[in-house]
Amino acid sequence: MGNVILDVTDVSKSFGGLQALSNINLRVEEGTVHAIIGPNGAGKSTFLNVIVGRLAPSRGRVLLGDQVLTGKQPHEINQLGVARVFQTPEIFPDLTLLQNIMIPAFAKRDGQFSFGIFKSLFAERGIREEAEHILEDVGLIADRNKVAGSMSRGDKRRLELAMCLIQDPKLFLLDEPTAGMSRHDTNSTIELLQRIKERGMTKIIIEHDMHVVFSLADRISVLAQGAIIAEGTPEEVRNDPKVKEAYLGG
Ligand code: ADP
Ligand code: MG
């Protein structure tokens, strides 16, 4: 394996008596797309919530490069380079698309650098240009001055992707990015994800649509009842009898 960017060791999480994750071990190689699949309630979202610091694991450890994420707050983990799109888009509905995209860009800059006033004016122009560039990339440039709350669900999802892309994260987590989308929006989102794959950004994607998973993932882990029951290339996973039984329905 090449450079490991995410290293998860023995992570477990229980909610009261429910063991949502048991002893998860997972390594993600830099620059790859790693998919996590599994039935509803398998623990996929819980796993992402542990990585981003929204949930504390009952035990185990998560590393990003050589940084320990376990025990850090979500905003600290975000500052370290982890971005995430949620199952339900989280955007600022009263702001324009351009403003929505500039917020994470400023947050990232202000968390990392301190600029003098002149530098800051230049930086603002730079960020605006970058924001427009990314809106163009995701196909929303014509709507840049529209209020985000007025957009369709698919466009909100695209906007949320753009809000992550402008952060240029080391690790990008996507929790069912095509959930609730029409076939048309799903296809254009896959096409967008394929284009951003070429940038070499490391991603973990949770997705129900096997067509999406098999077209995007370099590796797949299969989660069932809180445990990883199989891991491998799409080909290996597709042909794994355990997976067919537990997930693909035999
Ligand atoms: P998935 O994303 O794979 O569908 P989840 O990670 O959302 O599954 O849920 C895994 C299990 O943990 C489910 O049984 C779910 O009901 C339970 N669960 C998830 N979040 C919580 C919570 N905050 N409190 C209690 N139980 C939870
Ligand atoms: Mg989920």
Residues with a CB atom less than 6 Å from ligand 1: 15, 18, 20, 38, 40-46
Q: What is the pLDDT, as a whole number, of residue 249? A: 57
Q: What is the pLDDT, as a whole number, of residue 113? A: 45
Instruction: Give the closest residue to 218 by CA, choosing from 230, 202, 207.
Output: 202
Ligand 2 centroid–CA 43 distance in Å is 7
One digit per residue, the tens of pLDDT, for the chain of length 250 reads 789 999 999 999 999 999 999 999 999 999 999 999 999 999 999 999 999 999 999 999 999 999 999 999 998 999 999 999 876 778 999 999 999 999 888 877 766 544 455 556 556 778 899 999 999 988 899 999 999 999 988 888 889 999 999 988 999 999 998 887 788 888 888 888 888 777 788 999 998 888 889 889 999 999 999 999 999 999 999 899 888 877 655 4
Amino acid identity, position 86? F
Q: Which atom of ligand 1 is nearest to the CA of 21?
A: 10
Ligand 2 centroid–CA 121 distance in Å is 41
Of all protein residues, the one whose alpha carbon is nearest to atom 22 of ligand 1 is 15
β partners of residue 35:
205, 220
* Mode of pairing for the β-strands spanning 59-64 and 4-15: antiparallel
Ligand 1 centroid–CA 60 distance in Å is 18
Of all protein residues, the one whose alpha carbon is nearest to atom 26 of ligand 1 is 15
| 43 alpha carbon, closest ligand | 1
Q: What is the pLDDT, as a whole number, of residue 250? A: 45
* Mode of pairing for the β-strands spanning 33-37 and 202-206: parallel
pTM: 0.89
Q: Which atom of ligand 1 is nearest to the CA of 223?
A: 3
Q: Is the interface score ipTM higher than 0.95?
A: yes
Ligand 1 centroid–CA 43 distance in Å is 6
The full set of domains in the chain, from first to last, is 1-81+169-250 (3.40.50.300), 91-168 (no CATH)
Residue 12's contacts (CB-CB under 8 Å, 6 or more residues apart) are 19, 21, 22, 23, 24, 57, 58, 59, 60
